[in-house]
Amino acid sequence: MITQLPVSFASSRRQVLAGSAALILEIAMPANAQGDKRDTIIVWPELHLLSGATMRPEDWLNTPAVVVFWETWCPYCKRQNVHIDQLYRATSSQKIRIIGVTTETNVAKVKAYMEVSQFIFPVAIVDSSFRTQFTHRLIVPLTCLVSASGRLMQVIPGEMTKEDVLSLAATMQTGSTPKIAAITEG
């Protein structure tokens, strides 16, 4: 007897499988074939945060940044966001920006996700054109490191380990390219 899965479970399973397949394909491709735009200068738009605050382009001047693209349906994002939140809390007194970015359009859903998870790092909902400044990759989570001069230093696809995420603060302060141990598969 074949049992049909509930639609919500089947949909989320398809999304996870599609994300896993995308990760495998992206790991196998050279970085330049994946559409990374390393060394480009990021043009910061005005970003409206879930908190109601606004980040203006001048807020990014001379400040290194960790930009994490994620979505609420992604289990890998959920696990990595725990570490991103820890990084944000640990660097609150340092001159470094940490921001989560999603292209989801349901503001209430994103706010509920942040509240239930007790995450406090700033989050902006953007359109896909913001992401294309960094890369053409569609994988999530996707962590992008931007130097204090606004230059894209590195694009890191997939879920990062806690140690690698927490090491980003020191790396960003020195302006060096981080040595990421491994991308976990979940």
Whole-model pTM? Answer: 0.76
Over the stretch 136-149, which tens digit does the pLDDT of each residue have?
Answer: 989 999 999 999 99
- Provide the CA 159 distance to its chain's centre, in angstroms: 9
Average pLDDT, the chain: 82
Measured distance CA(69)–CA(160) in Å, rounded:
13
pLDDT of residue 163: 95
Write the single-letter amino acid at 141.
P
Over the stretch 120-135, which tens digit does the pLDDT of each residue have?
Answer: 999 999 998 999 999 9
More confident: 180 or 90: 90
Mean pLDDT of all residues in 67-92: 97
For residue 185, pLDDT over 70 is answered with no
Closest by Cα among 90, 74, 91, 55 to 138: 74
Query: Domain residues of the chain, as ranges?
Result: 7-184
Beta bridge partners of 99: 67
Element (H, E) at 101: strand 97-102
- What pLDDT band is residue 35 in, cutting at 50, 70 and 90? low
Fold of 7-184: Glutaredoxin (3.40.30)
Measured distance CA(143)–CA(135) in Å, rounded:
11
Over the stretch 45-56, which tens digit does the pLDDT of each residue have?
Answer: 999 999 999 999
Phi then psi for residue 79, to 5 deg, are: -65, -45
